[in-house]
Chain A
């Protein structure tokens, strides 16, 4: 009898010892995150440190992006795509605004710029109130949520040649690119986001998403300079239906397309004036490929 008791107590003791690590398994994600607190970012000569961003993240970002960076903060439930996109899930390491090819990690600078720029037509404001150091720290913090940065390097940024002079010929050529690669399938022939495929678009997580409407006067999500627009369609917006066109639009043609897209956008521009003088008509969606 006594032997049996001893046996049982031994067994129980062993079970207790093995059960000790259980609570830490349950919080494996947090444990993982702790091991990545040393993550850094490099913006020019500024080095960002993830551990320094814990407090500002908790104060300004956690409400939407959540304590684990999964985009499930308490405000997320109130955002209904496509009108209001959901907060980014940083754990996946997939980002819309990159200077790098599709399927690769963005550069630290890309994330740094996104924080300052904010995202029009979403709940993400422009965080221009942060100092550069604070922003760099937050970039490192954003990176520490995804295991991708541990084993992968950011992609090589695409090369953008210097912007050429706008000419009527280039605008016309840009219209041909718009017709050839069929931007209108989603964005519509006038850029009103009403192409035949616009209504059924979903993001990588299956949530409805809207194509960019060029005519409303709002800024594209990844910036509104000519170089930004060039970069958007060449790298694509990962996680969304917008593909990368870098394999199928040559750099020179890409500038033509930027100029043509300007003619669709609301602000009055040199490009818009030129298109008016040319009497440029929208592309014909029913014309066979190559015959516009």
Chain B
């Protein structure tokens, strides 16, 4: 064997080895991905006195007034629970590089007692969500995305017993939702890419389905804006990211 040939042979062996190792890593990586679904957990709190949430005058519609006879309605811009936990904060991975539609299930946005339940509905790009009505009065569901993002506004009537509306959004965007018939009705569709979570009434959240790795977690609150944190998720050890928003 002359020298030239031997070099070529060596190169071929080396290349095959590299390819093999790469394939192995890919397969193993997928296994980790499927089996070791990591998590990011934490709590979002408000620092300072919770702002006063104004009451809502629903006298325009007797049905709505009656629905809140014993439980007066008020704005839900900032909802603070036990121990200063902030509700309705959406947490998502802003540098997510996996499939944008990582979440399964059909999130539901209900029109109940003339308010939106939940007030903030998070979802993935391309994930189907459902709009339902539990009310015996007519609403219209009118999301107002910026048409330049690729999301197009639509407007559907929701009389009592209306057929649920099932839709999805094309692009990541925070979309205000309104009812023109009841101008106080205001909510949000927060459309993100990849795993997400929304804080409960104590401000706690868990983002599941996160493979081990380093991420940037973003917390979005409708009035206070966004905050980000770097988080590392290891196999078997959830990442932690606690956020604090300062009261205005």
Query: Hey, which bits of chain A sit against chain B, CB under 8 A?
Result: 91-94, 102-104, 147-148, 180-182, 185-186, 196-197, 200-202, 204, 236, 238-245, 247-248, 286, 288-290
- Which B-chain residue is minimally distant from A241 (CB atoms)? B180
Chain A residue numbers with a CB within 8 Å of B62 are 286
Q: Is B153 within 8 A of A103, CB to CB?
A: yes
Within 8 Å by CB of A196, from B60, B141, B152, B157, lies B60
A102 to B165 alpha-carbon distance, docked (Å): 12
What is the CA–CA distance of A147 and B62 in the complex, to the nearest angstrom? 44
Q: Report if A244-B154 is in contact (Cβ < 8 Å); known contacts: A94-B147, A181-B138.
A: yes
B61 to nearest A CB, angstroms?
7
List the A residue with the shortest CB-CB distance to B61. Answer: A196
State whether the Cβ of B228 lies closer than 8 Å to any Cβ in chain A: no
Q: Which residues of A contact B155 (CB under 8 A)?
A: 102-103, 236, 238, 240-244
The proximity string for B residues 181-221 relative to A, scoring 1 for CB distances below 8 Å and 0 otherwise, is 11100000000000000000000000000000000000000
Chain B contact residues: over half helix, strand or loop, or mixed? Answer: loop
Interchain CB contact under 8 A, A239 and B183: no
Q: How far is the CA of A236 from the CA of B156 in the complex (A)?
A: 8
Q: Please give me the 6 A-B residue pairs with the lowest Cβ-Cβ distance, nearest first.
A: A103-B154, A241-B180, A182-B138, A243-B140, A243-B157, A243-B155
Write 7 A-B pairs (CB below 8 A) sorted by A numbering: A93-B152, A102-B154, A102-B155, A181-B138, A244-B156, A245-B157, A286-B62
Residues on the A chain within 8 Å of B242, using CB: none
Task: Give the CA-CA distance A262 to B155 in the complex, in Å.
Answer: 24
- Chain B residues with CB under 8 Å of chain A are 60-62, 136-138, 140-142, 144, 147-148, 152-160, 162-163, 165, 180-183
Smallest CB-CB separation from B167: which chain A residue? Answer: A103
Among candidates B152, B158, B162, B182, residue contacting A197 with C-beta atoms closer than 8 Å: B182
CB neighbours (8 Å) of A103 from chain B are 152-155
Contacts of B148 in A (CB 8 A): 91-92, 147
Chain A residues contacting B181 (CB-CB under 8 Å) are 182, 185-186, 197, 241
User: Which of B60, B142, B147 touches A241 (beta carbons < 8 Å)?
Assistant: B142
Cβ of A200 and Cβ of B183 under 8 Å apart?
yes
What is the CA–CA distance of A202 and B186 in the complex, to the nearest angstrom? Answer: 14
**Contacts A238-B155, A239-B153 known; 18 new A-B pairs at CB < 8 A:** A92-B147, A94-B147, A94-B152, A102-B156, A103-B152, A103-B154, A182-B138, A185-B181, A186-B181, A197-B60, A197-B181, A200-B183, A201-B180, A202-B183, A236-B157, A240-B155, A243-B155, A243-B157
B140 proximity list for chain A (CB < 8 A):
241, 243
> Taking CB as reference atom, which chain B residue is nearest A209?
B180
Q: How far, in angstroms, from A242 to B179 measured CA to CA in the complex?
A: 11
- Shortest A146–chain B CB gap in Å is 8
Which of B147, B157, B158, B160 is close to A148, meaning CB atoms less than 8 Å apart?
Answer: B147
Q: How far is the CA of A147 from the CA of B148 in the complex (A)?
A: 8
Contact present for A204 and B182 (CB under 8 Å): no
User: Is B159 in contact with A181, judged by CB distance below 8 angstroms?
Assistant: yes
Q: Which of B147, B152, B157 has the most A CB atoms < 10 Å from its CB?
A: B157
Chain B residue with minimal CB distance to A200? B183
